[in-house]
Amino acid sequence: MRIRGAAVVILLAPAMAAMVVLYVIPLGVYFINSFHRFLDGRILPVWTLQTYVEYFTDSFTYKVMGTTLRLSLLVTVLSIVIGYPLAYALHTRVRSAAAKGLLALLLFSPLLVSVVVRTYGWLILLAGTGVVNTLLRGLGIIDQPLNLLFNMTGVVISLTHILLPFAIFPMYSVMSRLDLSLKEAAHDLGAGWWDTFTHVTLPLTMPGIVAGALICFTLALSAFVTPRLLGGGRVQVMPLMVYNNTVDINWPTGAVSGLVLLLMSIAAVWTLNSLLRRLPSV
């Protein structure tokens, strides 16, 4: 059934109305604040670029940006490096469809539970007398408990865990569409498993890697709960800055940093998407 004319407008009107009133206007109202100024605990309704100037001349800005990018990059690389063998093993080494489905569900299951719950789990695991330190000491690997909490280490571990399913599923999805006869052909032509992997499997699964990296990186950029609860104030990332600025009623600075965070997300999506388009599609 093809939909034409007035029907198209009627069908789209509710969603569009909601998007304009509850999405475009709030974001507009928010970002307009970036052209105002925060002085002596209140917002001056003047039109100025002063907040931008102050934001970009403050060295703290670049420190926070650096931390945010470093965290996001680290977590993305870890998620891909850990997730790739998992996706590959799930695709090639699990025969029965039922076992495959069950494992996929298990790998996906943490996403059904609040990120607060998962972060709490890592709080228990990484504590000084927690599971990880107790096990490492029991095995004689360390003498003193490692400081895994309230610093970058804890945030990286926990955030990698949270984003891992987002890395696994795009890669798995590309692998499952992969033509296995190509691997056999490479093998028949005398290529060893390593050559087959680097010359056939890896390039063909690259779209999955890039898609996984895209999701992980954008989600890591805007991660809030984990850096807040596990960073102990030492992992100052941009979403936390936006939060703090808002709590301090400094909406102008909050709006500038929010806008910068948004532009970083868009830049990441755009870069990885154009990379994705240049890759051969499977």
From the CB of 6, what's the least distance to other proteins, in Å? 11
* Positions 140 through 179 that interact with other proteins (CB under 8 A): 161, 164-166, 169-170, 173
- Cα–Cα separations (whole angstroms), residue 92 to 52, 105, 112, 136, 240: 52, 17, 26, 33, 41
d(CA 135, CA 131): 6
For residue 187, count CB atoms less than 10 angstroms from its CB and return exposed for 0-12, middle for 13-18, buried for 19 or more: middle
CB of 49 to other proteins, least distance (A): 20
Exactly one of 45, 66, 101, 203 binds other proteins (CB under 8 A); that residue is 101
Report the C-alpha gap between 152 and 160 in whole angstroms.
12
Query: Judged by CB under 8 A, which of 59, 96, 129, 144 binds other proteins?
Result: 129
Q: Which residues from 71-90 bind other proteins, rule CB under 8 A?
A: 82-83, 85-86, 88-90
By CB under 8 A, name the one of 221, 235, 256, 272 that touches other proteins.
Answer: 221
Cα separation, 154 vs 235, whole angstroms: 10
- φ, ψ of residue 37 in degrees (nearest 5): -135, 140
Shortest Å distance, C-beta 62 to other proteins: 19
Nearer to other proteins, 111 or 178 (CB): 111
The region of 44-52, 56-64, 139-147, 213-221 touching other proteins under the rule CB under 8 A is 213-221
Which residue from 98, 112, 139, 141 is in contact with other proteins, where contact means CB under 8 A?
Answer: 112
| Beta carbon nearer to other proteins, 138 or 280 | 138
- Six token digits for residue 175: 């692998």
14-53 residues near other proteins, rule: CB under 8 A: 14-16, 18-19, 22-23, 25-27, 29-30, 33
Among 69, 94, 279, 282, binds other proteins (CB under 8 A): 94
- For 272, the enclosing helix (H) or strand (E) is helix 251-278
Tokens linked to 66: 């650096």
Distance of CA 84 to the CA centre of its chain: 16
Biggest alpha carbon–alpha carbon distance for the chain: 75
φ/ψ of 211, rounded to 5, equals -65, -40
CB of 182 to other proteins, least distance (A): 18
Applying the rule CB under 8 A, the residues between 53 and 72 that interact with other proteins are none
Applying CB under 8 A, among 74, 146, 178, 225 the residue interacting with other proteins is 225
Name which of residues 241 to 270 contact other proteins (CB under 8 A).
242-243, 246, 251, 254-255, 258, 261-262, 265-266, 269
The one among 39, 105, 180, 267 contacting other proteins by CB under 8 A: 105
Count of beta carbons in the 10 Å neighbourhood of residue 181: 9
Interactions with other proteins, residue window 182-211 (CB under 8 A)? 193
Q: How many residues bind other proteins (CB under 8 A)?
A: 91
Sequential DSSP letters for 227-241: HHHHSTT----HHHH
Residue 143 and residue 133: Cα distance in Å, rounded? 10
